[in-house]
A and B are shown apart, each in its own frame.
Chain A
Amino acid sequence: MIELRSITKHFGTFAAVDNVSLKIEKGEFFGFLGPNGAGKTTTIKMMTGLYRPTSGSCIINGFDVQQAPLRAKRSFGYVPDQPYLYEKLTGREFLYFIGGLFDLDLDLLDEKIEQCSETFDLGKFIDKRADEYSQGMRQRIVLSSALLHDPKVLVIDEPLIGLDPRSARLVKDTLKRMTQEGMTIFMSTHLLEIVEELCDRIAIIKEGRIIHEQAQSASHSFDGQLESIFLELTK
């Protein structure tokens, strides 16, 4: 579902991501961890076509993001770390805009917007302009926009920043349910307890290189050890 083949990204002489390879299977909830500046967001930006890798390739749902960008992008949803919206558009208008970019049929779009409004409790805010939104509301609108086209893969960068406990629970439950329904999720976060609760497998990146990979299953869970592993490996 997601395959990173030796991707490298150089900014001048600095290697932000250095020869990273990963394979994430269908229905897997993958946690991508690392200290600040380790290369998490750069990796995600290469996966979503916002950065061109210096070398290597990102394959999503069988499509190379650089070689077949439109087909690859049609198959995944993306939630960035900073949920920037168009300040002068309402949440509903933003969702219609994104639906248009994905060529969604209007009737289907109406239906999906109502569904998202319910799932993420967008309520009356959906018809207010984004310049009146809180961080949490922006995050929920962006999450909704990423799910409009029923993507097979969801790439999320820090999804719970700015969410109140109720909204965070809502998002966690929704993401968990989606992986159970077969969606593949690639999530970058600093919140280790969230990773322990949700992720099937993790990788830790430091100075642009993967330094640790670990899976959790019913028989072999992280068992509250993730924090000590993380601190030990990234010191």
Chain B
Amino acid sequence: MRELLLVLNVKANVLLKSLLDFRPQSLIKNFSSFLIFGGVALGVFFLARESTNYLIHQAHIGQFLYHRFLSMLLYVFFVTVNLGNLIVCYASLYKSDEVTFMMGLPISHEKIFLLRFVDNFFYSSSTLVLLGVSWLLGYGSCYDMPWYFYFTAVFLVFLPFMLIAAILAVLVLMGLMKLASRTGVRPLISGVIVVYLASVFVYFRLTNPVKLVQDVMKYYPDVNRYFGYLDAPSSKALPNHWVSEFLYWSVIGDPARALPWFFLLLLVAAGLMVLAAILAKSMYYSSWLAASDARAVRGPRTRTLRLRFMEFGTRIFPPKLDAFLKRDFWVFFRDPGQWLHLLLLLVLLLIFVISLGSLELKTGQPMLQVTSFLVVFLFDGFLLASVLLRFVFPAVSLESESFWCVRASPVSLTRLYFYKLGSSLFLVLLLAEVLAIASTTLLGNNRVLVWVSACAMALVGLALTGLNLGAGAYFAAFKERNPIRVASSQGASLTFLGSMFYLSFVAVLLLIPLKRFLDYAIVRGQVMTESLYLPLGVIALLSLLVFGLSTGVGLRAIRRDY
């Protein structure tokens, strides 16, 4: 306990020092962070408040159905926290030099485990905590809940919920590491990805949202009844269900029925924490050794990818470009953490695009069609921003501590930056266009809307690539060897929130002109594309501005002392 408090004390001191740093650069940075994080928190607060208000009071979907939707969202949130902790814990509990150092000190293994776990939880989950808490505040304010509801919901329900996700991740990880010494790391990572994808698929098959809506709506307008018998029995064993049940009974005004779920969450979180400490005592050190062995004793790499034209002894481009391309190619594809993560994201994108094909959102109502178009457009943008944050933001940091060899070579840093920008932009634009065209076409949209989506998404791709690379250079962490940690740093969170602001602004710019266009197209049968030129022009200007400013910042940052 003493060591835990010591670490928390050190963390608090570091935070305090950064907050009380009054140098102009730090002040600007802290103020920008405050503005962006504060703005997003406020945005989420109002989104939660207004969407709850709309669904309950205008769409009349009923409290039960609303809280089941909430439960589904919480499930996705749970899986995100769980997977995020699994990935970051692997780096911080099994690959970190700090752990290797601590293993040589007279500290018990379970304490090392606990210290790193707590550190890791705060590091990887802070943005999600901010989003969750803002959401709870907005949700609660819609029902005029008393102050103690917020305290209970945030500290005694939401935090244990996140903790359960994180502890489960680390327990699974310990087991996986023990297995890794026998099976190797790659098959395990592939297995984990399959299991996570399958769990999301199975969950939505079991909960069957469409059937649930139909079953509840049979009782319309008496939809505020409790339809608990419609829940799939297995879904009741999941923590997201417990949270949604707690919220449901709290807003209904029946605290006696909310309390069991609250106690269940607390007890399970505490129980899992104790279980993790017990298992860590017997398993952490042996799994750490197993992971070290798995890395050290790899044997011959007989299945190494071979691509003759990408090998170093040949050249297809001018020497410098060729050298950078091949270095980046091999460093990427020899790191399973990189290519498997890309593969996972691409599979998710594919599932998203395919699932759009099964939706029938084409209606005769212009406003509904604009809404569905913008929701899909925003989701495309969100997916693109996630891919960029994961793979483009860390691009400069990935120069790593080996950057000395580039900096001491006759290579122009401007050219290096533009090489990174060009190669990223090529792939991002390709992805953006495929995503935009496929998703809007599958929605059965007007051809002009497909064209609008393609143009706007190309501009979004341009702006977000510039933003992620520039911000990634500004917040570069050359000492960090794990790109996932780079992509989940505070700078990365700021960049992602900035991307969300930009995307929202683009959507707002498109809203009225698209509505006007569809009014003419659907109601009057006239195609008036002129009304779309102005918003696209403004988006182009905005995107070029974001791109130009970010590139300027990035170019200055990459030339900083190394």
Q: Residues of A at under 8 Å CB distance from B?
A: 45, 48-52, 69-71, 73-74, 78, 80, 82, 84-89, 92-93, 96-104, 106, 110, 129, 142, 145
Quick check: B327 and A97 within 8 Å, CB to CB? yes
Known contacts A52-B561, A100-B322; is A73 also within 8 Å of B408 by CB? Answer: yes
Using A45-B561, A100-B326 as known contacts, list a sample of 13 further A-B pairs with CB atoms less than 8 Å apart, ordered by residue number in A.
A49-B408, A51-B561, A70-B411, A70-B412, A73-B408, A92-B312, A93-B326, A93-B330, A97-B327, A97-B405, A98-B323, A101-B406, A102-B410
In whole angstroms, what is the CA distance A84 to B400 when docked?
9
Quick check: B330 and A89 within 8 Å, CB to CB? yes
Task: Note all chain A residues with C-beta closer than 8 A to B326.
Answer: 93, 96-97, 100
Quick check: B402 and A73 within 8 Å, CB to CB? no
Task: Note all chain B residues with C-beta closer than 8 A to A78.
Answer: 404, 408
Quick check: A104 and B319 within 8 Å, CB to CB? yes
* In-complex Cβ contact of A48 among B315, B319, B327, B408 (8 A): B408
Nearest CB in chain B to that of A75: its residue: B410
Is B401 in the interface zone, CB < 8 Å from A? yes
Quick check: B409 and A101 within 8 Å, CB to CB? yes
In whole angstroms, what is the CA distance A231 to B330 when docked?
48
Known contacts A97-B312, A97-B327; is A88 also within 8 Å of B562 by CB? Answer: no
In whole angstroms, what is the CA distance A89 to B481 when docked?
15
| Residues of B438-464 contacting chain A, CB below 8 A | none
Q: How large is the interface on B (under 10, 10 to 19, 20 to 34, 35 or more residues)?
A: 20 to 34
Is B556 in the interface zone, CB < 8 Å from A? no
7 A-B interface contacts by CB (under 8 A): A50-B408, A50-B562, A74-B410, A86-B331, A89-B330, A100-B319, A102-B410
In whole angstroms, what is the CA distance A69 to B331 when docked?
27
Quick check: A96 and B323 within 8 Å, CB to CB? yes
In whole angstroms, what is the CA distance A97 to B327 when docked?
7
Quick check: A101 and B320 within 8 Å, CB to CB? yes
Quick check: A101 and B411 within 8 Å, CB to CB? yes
* In-complex Cβ contact of B404 among A50, A87, A96, A104 (8 A): A50
Task: Note all chain A residues with C-beta closer than 8 A to B312.
Answer: 92-93, 96-97
Task: Note all chain B residues with C-beta closer than 8 A to A106.
Answer: 313-315
Quick check: B331 and A88 within 8 Å, CB to CB? yes
Quick check: A89 and B327 within 8 Å, CB to CB? yes
Quick check: A84 and B402 within 8 Å, CB to CB? yes
**Interface membership of chain B positions 473-485, coded 1 if the CB is closer than 8 angstroms to chain A and 0 otherwise:** 0000000010000
In whole angstroms, what is the CA distance A50 to B560 when docked?
8
Quick check: A84 and B320 within 8 Å, CB to CB? no
Nearest CB in chain B to that of A71: its residue: B410
Q: How far is the CB of A177 from chain B (nearest CB, A)?
A: 23
Is B257 in the interface zone, CB < 8 Å from A? no
In whole angstroms, what is the CA distance A50 to B401 when docked?
12
Is B360 in the interface zone, CB < 8 Å from A? no
Is B334 in the interface zone, CB < 8 Å from A? yes
Interface of B is mostly: loop
* In-complex Cβ contact of A100 among B320, B401, B402, B562 (8 A): B320
In whole angstroms, what is the CA distance A70 to B159 when docked?
54
Known contacts A71-B410, A74-B410; is A100 also within 8 Å of B323 by CB? Answer: yes
Q: How far is the CB of B304 from chain A (nearest CB, A)?
A: 10
| Residues of B352-382 contacting chain A, CB below 8 A | none
Nearest CB in chain B to that of A78: its residue: B408
Which 7 A-B pairs rank lowest in CB-CB distance, beginning with the nearest?
A100-B323, A96-B312, A101-B409, A88-B334, A84-B401, A78-B408, A74-B410
In whole angstroms, what is the CA distance A80 to B401 when docked?
11
In whole angstroms, what is the CA distance A73 to B407 when docked?
9
In whole angstroms, what is the CA distance A40 to B331 when docked?
32
| Residues of B303-340 contacting chain A, CB below 8 A | 312-315, 319-320, 322-324, 326-327, 330-331, 334-335
Quick check: A110 and B313 within 8 Å, CB to CB? yes
Quick check: B405 and A98 within 8 Å, CB to CB? yes
Quick check: B409 and A98 within 8 Å, CB to CB? yes
Q: How far is the CB of A188 from chain B (nearest CB, A)?
A: 15
Known contacts A88-B331, A97-B323, A103-B320; is A145 also within 8 Å of B562 by CB? Answer: no
Task: Note all chain B residues with C-beta closer than 8 A to A98.
Answer: 323, 405, 409
Quick check: A50 and B320 within 8 Å, CB to CB? no
**Interface membership of chain B positions 530-562, coded 1 if the CB is closer than 8 angstroms to chain A and 0 otherwise:** 000000000000000000000000000000011
Known contacts A78-B404, A86-B402, A110-B313; is A102 also within 8 Å of B409 by CB? Answer: yes
Task: Note all chain A residues with C-beta closer than 8 A to B320.
Answer: 100-101, 103
Nearest CB in chain B to that of A104: its residue: B319
Max count, chain A CB within 10 A of own CB: residue among B312, B315, B324: B312
In whole angstroms, what is the CA distance A82 to B400 when docked?
13
In whole angstroms, what is the CA distance A102 to B318 when docked?
11
Q: How far is the CB of A27 from chain B (nearest CB, A)?
A: 22
Quick check: A80 and B404 within 8 Å, CB to CB? yes
Nearest CB in chain A to that of B398: its residue: A86
In whole angstroms, what is the CA distance A110 to B314 when docked?
11
In whole angstroms, what is the CA distance A101 to B407 when docked?
10
Nearest CB in chain B to that of A80: its residue: B404
Nearest CB in chain A to that of B399: its residue: A86
Q: How far is the CB of A115 from chain B (nearest CB, A)?
A: 16
* In-complex Cβ contact of A85 among B402, B410, B411 (8 A): B402
Q: How far is the CB of B308 from chain A (nearest CB, A)?
A: 14
Task: Note all chain B residues with C-beta closer than 8 A to A86.
Answer: 327, 331, 400, 402
Quick check: B313 and A96 within 8 Å, CB to CB? yes
Task: Note all chain B residues with C-beta closer than 8 A to A70.
Answer: 410-412
Nearest CB in chain A to that of B416: its residue: A101
Nearest CB in chain B to that of A89: its residue: B330
Quick check: B330 and A50 within 8 Å, CB to CB? no
Quick check: A84 and B323 within 8 Å, CB to CB? no
Task: Note all chain A residues with C-beta closer than 8 A to B412.
Answer: 70
